[in-house]
């Protein structure tokens, strides 16, 4: 455990026991009570750290099974930011550029034009269901929106060029993960022209996405292939390389309505119309608290999937 002024090695027991405790938790099913599993993880992973009240934020560089833990459910009273490695964090902090302006939001893509070949490759031949709540989500959040058939790869590339740096680029769509071939993991957009509609991690790596924050408001976007010493390789890492030092993403298949509520609240806190907003980590923590305060969404399934990867502050690394 590292702090600005000190370091401390804290034994957490055997790796076997830690893995078993992680695997015992299933917060992705609203019909399963995760209370006991969360308590066991608190006892095994959090209590031994003996964090004092002065610690307001925790940076986690996870390994193995820890990559898929919903740390927001374990640190409710502290903000959490995830990082692939210490090296990556330093590189992100060294990026210097002007702060972004405007929110580019894509939502409710039109999936009717997706070819059977593309569906077979990216979605095992199944059709993609429309995401009704994602339209209001994008329209409420965005200062520039791409909705329906306009929420395409070509539309995204053209819109990105209209602003030197964006405050945020927000994707409200389906996320399709390929753990064995993480560079084929994709965000499902509208099919248009020669574009198949599936914006893959490999394509993102080859793009420039200058934004203070990328929000992947889709299913399982925080997952991918776990690489020893480097965390998860997939969509999150691709967006970091493309120019976004902060990424908000999800660990499991999320609820459409609860996600809409969480995202709208996050932007109200992080990017208010008047005054300066909260940092990304604090805004996410409070948005999660807002969702779970509603009885129908109390279960961690509805709010705990969301994680912040990269820089946690509001404007670190800008001129």
**Residue 318 reports pLDDT greater than 60:** no
Q: What is the pTM of this model?
A: 0.92
pLDDT digits (tens, 9 = 90+) for 222-266: 999 988 877 788 999 999 999 999 999 999 999 999 999 999 999
pLDDT of 125: 62
pLDDT of 165: 96
Lowest mean pLDDT among 8-17, 145-154, 240-249, 288-297: 8-17
Instruction: Give CA–CA dist 263/221, Å, rounded.
Output: 15
Spatial contact of 190 and 126, defined as CB atoms under 8 Å apart? no
> What is the third-level CATH fold of 103-310?
Rossmann fold (3.40.50)
pLDDT digits (tens, 9 = 90+) for 119-153: 666 666 677 888 888 999 999 999 999 999 999 99
158-to-9, 13, 96, 98, 152 alpha-carbon distances in Å = 49, 51, 24, 21, 10
List the domain boundaries for the chain.
103-310
pLDDT digits (tens, 9 = 90+) for 92-118: 887 777 889 999 999 999 988 777 766
Tell me, what DSSP letter sits at residue 127? P
Tokens representing 38 are: 């969360």
């Amino acid at each position: 455990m590292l702090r600005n002024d000190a370091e401390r090695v804290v034994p957490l027991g055997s790796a076997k026991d830690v893995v078993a405790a992680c695997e015992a938790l299933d917060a992705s099913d609203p019909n399963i009570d995760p209370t006991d599993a969360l308590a066991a993880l608190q006892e095994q992973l959090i209590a031994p750290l003996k964090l004092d009240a002065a610690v307001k934020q925790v940076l986690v560089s996870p390994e193995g099974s820890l990559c898929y833990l919903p740390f927001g459910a374990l640190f409710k009273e502290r903000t959490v930011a995830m990082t692939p490695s210490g090296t990556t964090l330093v590189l992100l902090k060294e990026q210097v550029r002007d702060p972004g302006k405007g929110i580019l939001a894509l939502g409710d893509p039109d999936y009717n034009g997706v070819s059977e070949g593309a569906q077979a490759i990216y979605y095992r031949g199944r059709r993609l269901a429309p995401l009704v709540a994602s339209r209001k989500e994008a329209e409420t959040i965005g200062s520039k929106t791409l909705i329906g058939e306009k929420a395409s790869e070509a539309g995204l590339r053209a819109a990105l060029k209209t602003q030197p740096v964006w405050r945020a680029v927000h994707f409200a769509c389906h996320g399709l993960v390929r753990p064995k071939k993480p560079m084929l993991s994709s965000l499902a957009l509208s099919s248009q022209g020669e574009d198949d509609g599936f914006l893959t991690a490999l394509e993102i790596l080859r793009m420039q996405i200058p934004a203070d924050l990328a929000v992947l408001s889709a299913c399982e976007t925080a997952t991918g292939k776990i690489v020893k010493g480097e965390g998860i390789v997939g969509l999150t890492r691709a967006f970091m390389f493309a120019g976004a030092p902060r990424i908000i993403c999800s660990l499991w298949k999320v609820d459409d309505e609860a996600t809409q509520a969480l995202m709208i609240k996050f932007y109200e806190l992080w990017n208010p119309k008047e005054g300066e907003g909260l940092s990304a980590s604090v805004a996410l923590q409070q948005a999660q608290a807002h969702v779970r305060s509603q009885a129908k969404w109390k279960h961690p399934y509805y709010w705990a999937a969301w994680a912040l990867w990269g820089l946690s502050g509001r404007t670190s690394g800008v001129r």
